[in-house]
Amino acid sequence: MIRVGYPSTISIELFRDFPVGIELIPISEKLDHDVKIDVWIPDPYPTRAMRAWPRLRGVRLIISMLAGTEWIPPLVGPHVTICNAQGAHNVATAEWVVGAILATLKYFPLYLDVQRSGVWKRRFEAPQYYAAITGDATPIYPPVMLEDLAGKRVLLVGYGEIGKEIEHMLAPFRVELTRVARSARIKPKVHPAVELDQLIPSVDIIILIVPATNETRGLIGAEQFALMRQGTLVVNAARGAVVNTDALVEALKAGKIRAAIDVTDPEPLPEGHPLWSCPNLLITPHVGAASPQMAPNALRTAADELRRYLNGEPLHRVVQQAT
């Protein structure tokens, strides 16, 4: 019988649709003895999973509950097959992206400050902010109190499953969308990553939803920020290292761009880090997929991979094949 280790923090009820022929073994981060399992579903919090790993024996397959698995290969080595949870968190992540864009363009952080202050007249800080961030000092009446998403020019950097879900959710806003991926495609038109710098100056919003790889580390740095139009909104739902943190801090402090980020580098973001106090920035602490459906969705993908594994069928979401 295949022994499958799972996080002891997750209710056994969520495993009711798992295939027969397996034995479920709860794995705690506080293991004080060795445990032999064949398949491991790590805790979605990597630090907890890392504490458990030294006590695990016999693991041949790891099925992650997350789409990002960059921390797993250095931990387990090349002799274990690793699958991710691709597709499980598409909707939640795409909703975060659209929500972050709308929150920024509708000046929700400013209006939350107004609410907390209890001073109605502070609403007139909005037109001042608009003029400063966009560089448009033209007198406008009635004054600008927020911005529209409709009609904005959006650069979608990363066109996998989550990127496609973001595109679908942006469709009602009638944005002008340009797609970028590692390589070019014809239908729909996707620009290759080598054209990124050529495309940056012509857009209003840049969405980053690429995987963390050596190629994408520092993809957006000082050179790219310099190419951006005044007031460009950068939305990072990928990984913190995709954006050079020092360059991001400088661009924000200079008032050149604005940003909404769910990921940071370093992460967790330490107390007192300059990013916390940057202007024109909305930060959420890597919560983009953490809806009530996160675990059920991830375990459905895990169950699918496990069935394939038991039946000797090809696995669908392999990110590392055991050597």
**Model pLDDT for residues 114-159, shown as the tens digit of each residue:** 999 999 999 999 999 999 999 999 999 999 999 999 999 999 999 9
Q: Which CATH number, 2.60.40.10, 3.40.50.720, 3.40.50.1980, 3.90.550.10, labels domain 90-106+147-283?
A: 3.40.50.720
The overall pTM is greater than 0.75: yes
Token pair for 65: 């509950």
- The DSSP 8-state label assigned to residue 254 in this structure reads T
What is the arithmetic mean of pLDDT over 15-33? 94
**Model pLDDT for residues 282-311, shown as the tens digit of each residue:** 999 999 999 999 999 999 999 999 999 999
Percent of the chain scored above 90 by pLDDT?
A: 98
With CA atoms as reference, report the closest residue to 146 among 179, 101, 87, 105. Answer: 105
Q: Which residues of 91-126 are buried (b: 16+ CB within 10 A; e: fewer)?
A: bbbbbbbbebbebbbbbbebbeebeeeeeeeeeebb
In the block, tokens 């002891």 appear at 8
pLDDT exceeds cutoff 90 at 68: no
Active site residue 286: yes
Write down the CATH number for the domain with range 2-88+292-320: 3.40.50.720
**Model pLDDT for residues 150-195, shown as the tens digit of each residue:** 999 999 999 999 999 999 999 999 999 999 999 999 999 999 999 9
Active site residue 239: yes
Of 239, 258, 305, 317, the catalytic one is 239
Answer whether 158's CB lies under 8 Å from 151's CB. Answer: no
Contact residues for 42 (Cβ-Cβ < 8 A; gap 6+): 7, 49, 52, 53, 62, 64, 65, 72
Where along the chain do its domains lie? 2-88+292-320, 90-106+147-283
Answer whether 80's CB lies under 8 Å from 293's CB. Answer: no
What is the arithmetic mean of pLDDT over 267-288? 97
CA 284 to mean position of chain CA atoms:
11
Give me the pLDDT at residue 33, please: 95
User: How much is the mean pLDDT over the chain?
Assistant: 96
User: β-pairing, 205-208 with 232-236?
Assistant: parallel
Do 90-106+147-283 and 2-88+292-320 fall under one CATH topology?
A: yes
Active site residue 3: no
Give me the pLDDT at residue 35, please: 97
How would DSSP label each residue in 135-192?
A: ------SSPP-----TT-EEEEE--SHHHHHHHHHHGGGT-EEEEEESS-BTTTTBEE
Of 89, 191, 258, 286, the catalytic one is 286
What is the arithmetic mean of pLDDT over 258-284? 97
What is the arithmetic mean of pLDDT over 263-268? 96
Answer whether 174's CB lies under 8 Å from 152's CB. Answer: no
pLDDT band at 4 (very low <50, low <70, confident <90, very high): very high
Give me the pLDDT at residue 145, please: 97
Neighbours of 152 (CB within 10 A): 19
